[in-house]
Amino acid sequence: MSTDNFSSVILTLVTFLPLAGGLLLFLFPRRDRDVRIFSLVISLLTFILSLHLPVYFHRGADGFQYEINKQWITTPNIHYHMGIDGISLWLIVLTTFLTPLCVLISWKSIHERVKEFFILLLVLETALIGVFVSLDLFLFYFFWEATLIPMALLIGMFGHERKIYAAVKFFLYTMVASVFMLAAILWLYAKTGSFDFVYIRDHIGSITVSPAASFWLFLGFFIAFAVKVPLFPFHTWLPDAHVEAPTAGSVLLAGVLLKMGTYGMLRFNLALFPEQSRHNAPWIIALALIGIVYGALVAMVQPNMKKLIAYSSVSHLGFVVLGIFSFTQAGLNGAMFVMLAHGVSTGALFMLAGILHERRHTYEITEFGGLASPTPVYAASFLFIVLASVGLPLLNGFVGEFLVLTGAFQARPIYGIIAATGVIWSACYLLWMYQRVFFGKVTHTVNNSLPDLTGFEIASVWPCAAAALVMGVAPILWLSAIDPAVHGALVPFAQIVSKVVGQ
């Protein structure tokens, strides 16, 4: 098959290969080792296939590439329309990168219903990729809702003590919020006769929409995305979901699932409702700034390591929302980079916390202390990821936060000043947690005999550490594809400003 022919089907292959693997697992006998190996092969093959996307991506273009547009359902007019640009490209690669690591980190930690676990993991991967490649709003909504089922089941079946409560809370919060987006999608279809995102984006200006209707349409999409991020004050489902989820569930939840919300804001809110986005930006930025500071301060007082990392996500995702609604090139580039950097470093933090839980069956920070002596490789790996998450220069966390703060200062200096305090707080809570867990004397004798990282655990964590380093040293590898797409997303806002100036 030629490169052009392969490129025409690559999105379908990358999206549905994990689902095909999950369906094949149904036919497997219950031999846990074979199930694990097959799941790893499928997830690695999906990752390898996904690398075709950045390799053959035309980085100077801001439009959609690898497009597929086929009639799916005649009435209503629904298309199998897929395509990616620089905004969605790296989120797909992030998903396919983290999934095999989730398989590896779960290799020895999942002992019961192993086949069901890996089926759910592969089905979830397909749903997540589908969200980022869909250009038909009906198809997008289908994949958006499809992510809820495997994630809720992963939490409810393989989680910890309060797993059912956490799974139901996660499901209800995100499903109810999504209904508002569905209502907005149906309204747009009634007005345009199409679910096609590109068509609606290009023709929505010719539709007569009252300011009140436009506001409610914007809000319908925004609520669904804000709950998924989660943006303060819609964040209360997140700590429970993270603490009770199995390690792989937490990695995909923090690494990819939360990015669905920020991706939705950037892709749909800004593209379909630029005037409403501009009009509502002040109160959205206020919520983002509150989330940055509030998430960091609450993380600082958490006695539970996993809950601390969960609240750090509230703070870090606040940076993303701030960057998006700064409407600056630097801010949006930074928002995209923070999404990717957070997925890598926070995913690794959840893996490292899960490794400790496997050994001690607790996340309570007071149960540890002095672990650097019995587990030096684990301690060094943890420190590297903590420094990446804090935003140490030459690691991935620095680049995105620097760009977001630059964009925030360009929008309004007070935004940048308040957001900059979040960087300080993140250093406080992460380094203080690290000090209490790894330094000082071993306070519990059982910790003296803890084993260091195993081969499977190294294979899970170190790729994230390598990615954090490469992203920090050579961010242009990512930003060269992101920048043209972000520039295209900002064109409507430049037109709005020019209209205001002209008047």
Q: What is the pLDDT of residue 211?
A: 78
Indicate if the pLDDT at residue 61 is higher than 80: no
Number of alpha carbons in the 13 Å side-chain half-sphere of residue 68: 18
Q: What is the pLDDT of residue 107?
A: 85
pLDDT tens for each residue of 390-413: 888 889 888 889 999 999 988 888
Q: What is the pLDDT of residue 127?
A: 93
pLDDT tens for each residue of 288-338: 999 999 989 998 988 888 889 888 888 889 999 999 998 889 999 999 999
Q: What is the pLDDT of residue 3?
A: 62
Indicate if the pLDDT at residue 177 is higher than 70: yes
With cut-offs at 50, 70 and 90, classify the pLDDT of residue 503: very low
Instruction: Look up residue 38 and give its amino acid.
Output: F
pTM, rounded to two decimals: 0.91
pLDDT tens for each residue of 157-175: 888 778 888 888 888 888 8
Kindly tell me the burial class for residue 5, based on how many C-beta atoms sit within 10 Å of its own C-beta (0-12, 13-18, 19 or more).
exposed
pLDDT tens for each residue of 7-25: 778 888 999 999 999 999 8
416 to each of 79, 101, 109, 183, 408, how far by Cα in Å? 42, 35, 42, 35, 5
Give the 3-state DSSP-derived string for 341-353, with helices as H, strands as E and coil as C. Answer: HHHHHHHHHHHHH
Output the average pLDDT for the chain. 87
pLDDT tens for each residue of 192-244: 888 888 888 887 777 767 778 888 889 999 999 998 888 888 888 888 888 88
Return the DSSP state at 265: I
- Separation CA 414–CA 436 (nearest Å): 34
Mean pLDDT over residues 371-376, rounded?
87
Q: Can you tell me which residue has the tokens 């684990």?
A: 378
- Separation CA 320–CA 208 (nearest Å): 32
Question: Angle formed by the axes of helices 376-390 and 329-360, to 10°?
Answer: 160
Q: What is the pLDDT of residue 254?
A: 87
DSSP string, 305-345: HHHHHHHHHHHHHHHHHHHHTTT-HHHHHHHHHHHHHHHHH
